[in-house]
């Protein structure tokens, strides 16, 4: 068994990185902020004598302005400390997993998720799919990709109420998933992450028919007022035994995402990069059945997916990447 399979989360690496963040010398601005914070505490301490009564009232506005500036600097310093702590916490929970090089992936627009986060309302995400959504191959429930994703998003948005509901059923593909799609819509999710296509390849289903059903399903999800992200098949020996079908499925799902203007996480290409460009052995991220991911594989998949979701939400908060026809995604 490889070292990555035995120790999928490599805490030593994360601890070193966290230590670097937390032990780095203070920048001049941070030192000034801490000094200002100390000055503010001294200013508010009851033991500090009050100004002499003879002080000119003309100096009061200047004193008030200085106090406000000190309070503002102190507040910014506290926020920086909180952000550093959050970053350190995230480092401790991440696996040593590099994003693929080359052209950056785009998650597309996730307006429903972003709007809920901005307004402080609860966010519901449904992970919809087959056995790799259900978590087959993971050593414990907390290591499935939906649970890893939920943990990452909660670290990123600690004040938000975020739920990730697992609706993965092993062995299914588009025909079976379409029959239970309404039960997903009835949860009123803000985002549906739909992992599909692997079993269609293994069962030799018609890729064109699968893509047609997925497009119909995406249309229904969008009409119900949810964002959608597709996840294409995994790159693993059982799937790559069908190279033509697998590549066609990946291509067609990409076309559906483009047509419906939704996000897609290119799992097939990401996993192929792990093996071909990053020289990671297949059995470091796929279990012995030659199909399903192990703890490290699920963790890296969830981590990169979460990074893309966070980036998309951040762009919308900044007013970037907001589709002009976003209303077409909502029920009329």
pLDDT at site 106: 63
Task: Map residue 206 onto helix, strand or coil.
Answer: coil
Q: Are residues 181 and 36 in the same domain?
A: no
Q: Are residues 220 and 132 in the same domain?
A: yes
Q: Are residues 154 and 191 in the same domain?
A: yes
pLDDT at site 33: 38
- Cα 319 from Cα 330, distance rounded (Å): 19
Q: Are residues 322 and 220 in the same domain?
A: yes
Which residues 6+ apart lie within 8 Å of 17 measured at CB? Answer: 91
CB atoms within 10 A of CB 323: 13
Which residues 6+ apart lie within 8 Å of 100 measured at CB? Answer: 269, 270, 273, 277
Edge-to-edge, what's the strand order for the sheet holding 162-168?
162-168, 123-129, 191-195, 227-231, 263-265
Instruction: Kindly state whether residue 102 falls inside one of the protein's structural domains.
Output: no
Strands (E), 169-324: 191-195, 227-231, 263-265
**Structure-token pair, residue 319:** 């007013």
Instruction: Kindly state whether residue 101 falls inside one of the protein's structural domains.
Output: no
Instruction: Kindly state whether residue 290 falls inside one of the protein's structural domains.
Output: yes
Instruction: Kindly state whether residue 103 falls inside one of the protein's structural domains.
Output: no
Q: Are residues 75 and 149 in the same domain?
A: no
Boundary of a domain, candidates 42, 63, 93? 93
Instruction: Kindly state whether residue 273 falls inside one of the protein's structural domains.
Output: yes
Q: Are residues 123 and 68 in the same domain?
A: no
Instruction: Kindly state whether residue 169 falls inside one of the protein's structural domains.
Output: yes
Boundary of a domain, candidates 33, 65, 93? 93
Q: What is the CATH number of the domain that holds 258?
A: 3.40.50.1110
Q: Residue 72 carries which DSSP code?
A: H
Phi/psi of residue 197, each to 5°?
110, -25
Q: Are residues 269 and 151 in the same domain?
A: yes
On whether the CB atoms of residues 195 and 132 are closer than 8 A, the answer is yes
Q: Are residues 228 and 300 in the same domain?
A: yes
Boundary of a domain, candidates 65, 93, 121? 93
- Cα 147 from Cα 128, distance rounded (Å): 13
State the burial class of residue 261 (Cβ atoms within 10 Å of its Cβ: 0-12, 13-18, 19+).
middle
Q: Are residues 145 and 207 in the same domain?
A: yes
pLDDT at site 95: 75
Tally the domains of the chain.
2
Instruction: Kindly state whether residue 118 falls inside one of the protein's structural domains.
Output: yes
Which residues 6+ apart lie within 8 Å of 132 measured at CB? Answer: 145, 168, 195, 198, 234, 292, 293, 298
Q: Are residues 268 and 317 in the same domain?
A: yes
Instruction: Kindly state whether residue 180 falls inside one of the protein's structural domains.
Output: yes
**Structure-token pair, residue 183:** 């039960």
What is the residue range of 151's domain? 111-329
Q: Are residues 59 and 161 in the same domain?
A: no
Task: Map residue 207 onto helix, strand or coil.
Answer: helix
Q: Are residues 227 and 308 in the same domain?
A: yes
On whether the CB atoms of residues 296 and 5 are closer than 8 A, the answer is yes
Count of CA atoms in the C-beta half-sphere (13 A) of 264:
24
pLDDT at site 67: 65
Counting every residue, how long is the chain? 332
Q: Which residues of the chain have pLDDT under 70?
A: 1-69, 71-72, 74-93, 102-106, 317-332
């Amino acid at each position: 068994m490889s070292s990555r399979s035995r120790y999928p989360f490599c805490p030593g690496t994360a601890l070193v990185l966290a230590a670097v963040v937390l032990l780095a010398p203070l920048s001049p601005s941070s030192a000034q902020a801490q000094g200002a914070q100390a000055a503010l505490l001294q200013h508010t301490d009851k033991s500090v004598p009050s100004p002499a009564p003879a002080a000119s009232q003309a100096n009061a506005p200047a004193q008030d302005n200085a106090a406000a500036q000190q309070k503002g600097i102190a507040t910014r310093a506290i926020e920086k400390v909180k952000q550093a702590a959050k970053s350190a916490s995230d480092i401790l929970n991440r696996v040593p997993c590099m994003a693929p090089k080359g052209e950056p992936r785009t998650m597309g627009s996730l307006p429903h998720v972003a709007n809920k986060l901005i307004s402080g309302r609860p966010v519901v995400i449904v992970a919809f799919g087959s056995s790799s959504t259900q978590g087959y191959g993971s050593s414990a429930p907390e290591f499935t990709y939906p649970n890893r994703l939920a943990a990452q998003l909660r670290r990123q948005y600690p004040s938000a109420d975020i739920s990730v509901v697992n609706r993965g059923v092993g062995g299914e593909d588009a025909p079976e998933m379409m029959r239970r799609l309404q039960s997903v819509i009835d949860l009123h999710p803000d985002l549906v992450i739909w992992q599909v296509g692997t079993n269609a390849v293994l069962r030799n289903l018609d890729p064109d028919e699968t893509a047609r059903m997925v497009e119909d399903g995406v249309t229904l999800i969008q009409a119900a007022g949810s964002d959608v992200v597709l996840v294409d098949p995994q790159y693993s020996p059982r799937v790559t035994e069908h190279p033509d079908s697998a590549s066609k499925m990946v291509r067609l799902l990409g076309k559906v995402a483009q047509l419906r203007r939704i996000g897609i996480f290119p799992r097939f290409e990401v996993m192929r990069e792990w093996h071909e460009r990053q020289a990671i052995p297949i059995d470091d991220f796929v279990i012995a059945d030659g199909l399903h991911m192990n703890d490290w594989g699920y963790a890296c998949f969830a981590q990169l997916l979460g990074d893309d979701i966070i980036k998309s939400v951040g762009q919308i908060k900044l007013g970037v990447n907001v589709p002009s026809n976003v209303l077409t995604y909502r029920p009329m």
